[in-house]
Structure 1
């Protein structure tokens, strides 16, 4: 790429002021760029300016935090595909609007702007608060810049799910998320494909075999029927236990299906009293959702063309019914320890999964070059038990 002195000076000005975006000017080699500008146009300036611009664009688009510091991060950010670095740089140089092109990479979700304002108001002496703000600003960059017209967004530490249209909250629902440890809820960006009314629940083999449920029901078919389970022995000897639809089903009255390797989804629960507790980290990873039936019915109307009468009849039938969405509904599971709550107040939440430390530590170190890795290397473990 060919850089004019004017464009290079504009880039240097952006770098010098990038602290307002929660990034560190030193990461983008301002001294080397300043020296190249002083030496004049030519190959040296082109190389230095292109490198500084690319690093800055990557961090604004994808986040500065290296993948190794994103604990349980499995949400693929598509921005690099739709807006590659070379194309961003070409646009900036063609238009000679370096600052505007880079500013356009910022997340559109309103929380990012709120955090940016909070950073500007926080005294430099309050290094701890500023570091937490910067970390949570960066978490918004990990997701795609544009989340869609309609989408679901849940912030795990807040224990809340939002139904959002054009970045404005339409409905909110309390959630119950995974217990800390092996059953912590991962961070995902998926799509709801089906709403399942009156779901069945296939009991995991860890319970069927490990806890002896299969043997118990095989020895007492009448009890299995009374308890609402169907037990089947496959030709290879494997025992399958399926809980039938009903008020006591572990998934409640509705399952909001978003296929992913972790078997994480949103669902109802018969244990609704737990929504009245404050810190709701009780599940085996899935997100139990307050008023899930209301949410499922709304999705069926918005995204599957069902009428209120149709979804009411389906939900009250007591029969397993899968309603495919005609257009997918994006769903994002994030982890923000500082963000706006559902009432619009900037709040700090407890770091229930201890995920802040790695992000904060990465910001205290020099910037790492991007590797092209899209998710973390942690082993994917499917979590099938609702954890009642």
Structure 2
């Protein structure tokens, strides 16, 4: 890194962090929607934005039959009106038993009304809060949505009935990200005859409901089909970076919500055995020690014949100059690459699954600063040291690896993106089938550990 480059980078980072600080003083993130009878919040200092990492314990499906609460006719009529207009949010009125609710309203206050209204309300809450598509339609979707725990159905029903604000409670379930409102507006403007476009809009609105309603104050979010990464503060884009994502097939990038726990400068790369043995790299390097040294590989063969290959820090390292440490079972992370020329390609589905990031050093230094682990000067010095260094994130930042085929692009224009991994079809098909009750909250797809290397 030249002196000029160093100071240009520092200047850019200084401006960026100033902007981040200013943006962070904006409006507070919306609070969890809890009933007025909820226990007081702890006075313990709040942690970093809600951790979207999957819990290690299994999460049971919601009960098939919701709790029944007492409804009056006036509140039930408001609920019925909300159901009749729920198509505005890309959902299907018939899913929520409007005729059964009409009949119960006509019969007046009593057990039948309580059962019908409670069922309709609970199912409507589940779909607005958690998404309508079942897990079987969410291919490679490993995000655990925390909203059902933060906003329990029974508590929402109690609040709606206590305040007689059915519409307000339902409206507050909408994702806060501006893309959701943008898609809703587009759905309203799209003629009913344009069935394919309307179906695609509905599917992508539903994908927003699969995520946490509030993504946090500061986060990284990448849309795999768009092949772009955003650094976002209060849902406003601060920086964008082109990305290289997984090739279709076995190395397709899965969808995750994880936490950056550290920034690794000058990383080493322990080559997976699928490449060392499966692709013959170990044998080739053992046969040509000079080539191994030139590429920065340290090759070790144990007494039992096991070959390990570790690429040392350097310009040729497959991970480039940095990686973000975001532990997850898939071994997916964001990192640099020595093949930066590939960012100039329009189609960048080239990796073994990890997210290679344009201007990764700038991103890493920014993460180290906003995470409280290092100053800009310290981070630049560490990056120049050529030594493996992990800078911990005191303030952890969420990373969302998403999959939207219709969304606002980095210029704020609504756009459609190539369905790289053919993940639209099962979502679209699920909307053509009856609503599935008692849905699981966790996918039963197997975790596939993804690896990345210098191929292409």
Range of TM-score over shorter length: over 0.9
Choose which of 98, 109, 114 in structure 2 pairs with 1:46.
114
Choose which of 282, 304, 316 in structure 2 pairs with 1:214.
282
- Please say which of residues 202-211 and 14-23 is displaced more in the overlay: 202-211
Q: 1-side partners of 2:393 and 2:342: how far apart?
A: 30
SS at match of 1:136: helix
Q: 2-side partners of 1:231 and 1:182: how far apart?
A: 27
Which structure 2 residue ranges, 5 or more long, are not aligned? 1-68
Corresponding residue of 2:208: 140
Contact 2:370 2:395 (8 Å CA) reproduced: no
Q: 1-side partners of 2:409 and 2:352: how far apart?
A: 24
Contact 2:373 2:391 (8 Å CA) reproduced: no
SS at match of 1:73: coil
Corresponding residue of 1:386: 453
Distance 1:387 1:42, change over 3 A: farther
Aligned positions of 1:113-262 closer than 5 A: 113-234=181-302, 236-262=304-330
Question: Which whole-Å deviations, capped at 9, do the CAs of 1:41-73 have from their partners, x for residues lacking one?
Answer: 111110110000000000000000011100111
Contact 1:152 1:164 (8 Å CA) reproduced: yes
Which structure 1 residue ranges, 5 or more long, are not aligned? none
Question: Which whole-Å deviations, capped at 9, do the CAs of 1:8-36 have from their partners, x for residues lacking one?
Answer: 11100100110111111100000000000
Aligned positions of 1:302-381 closer than 5 A: 302-371=370-439, 373-381=440-448
Contact 1:286 1:386 (8 Å CA) reproduced: no
Contact 2:374 2:391 (8 Å CA) reproduced: no
Question: Which whole-Å deviations, capped at 9, do the CAs of 1:254-293 have from their partners, x for residues lacking one?
Answer: 0012111111100100111111111110011101100011
Corresponding residue of 1:24: 92
SS at match of 1:304: coil
Contact 1:285 1:386 (8 Å CA) reproduced: no
Q: 2-side partners of 1:120 and 1:134: how far apart?
A: 11
RMSD (CA atoms) = 1.2
Q: 1-side partners of 2:388 and 2:310: how far apart?
A: 12
Contact 1:282 1:387 (8 Å CA) reproduced: no
Corresponding residue of 1:276: 344
Contact 1:231 1:240 (8 Å CA) reproduced: yes
SS at match of 1:128: helix
Q: Tell me by how many angstroms 1:324 deviates.
A: 1.1
Q: Tell me by how many angstroms 1:190 deviates.
A: 0.7
Contact 1:66 1:370 (8 Å CA) reproduced: no
Question: Which whole-Å deviations, capped at 9, do the CAs of 1:330-368 have from their partners, x for residues lacking one?
Answer: 000111010000000000111111111111111111111
Q: Tell me by how many angstroms 1:210 deviates.
A: 2.2
Q: 1-side partners of 2:213 and 2:394: how far apart?
A: 24
Question: Which whole-Å deviations, capped at 9, do the CAs of 1:163-220 have from their partners, x for residues lacking one?
Answer: 0000000000000100111111111111111111000111111221123322333344
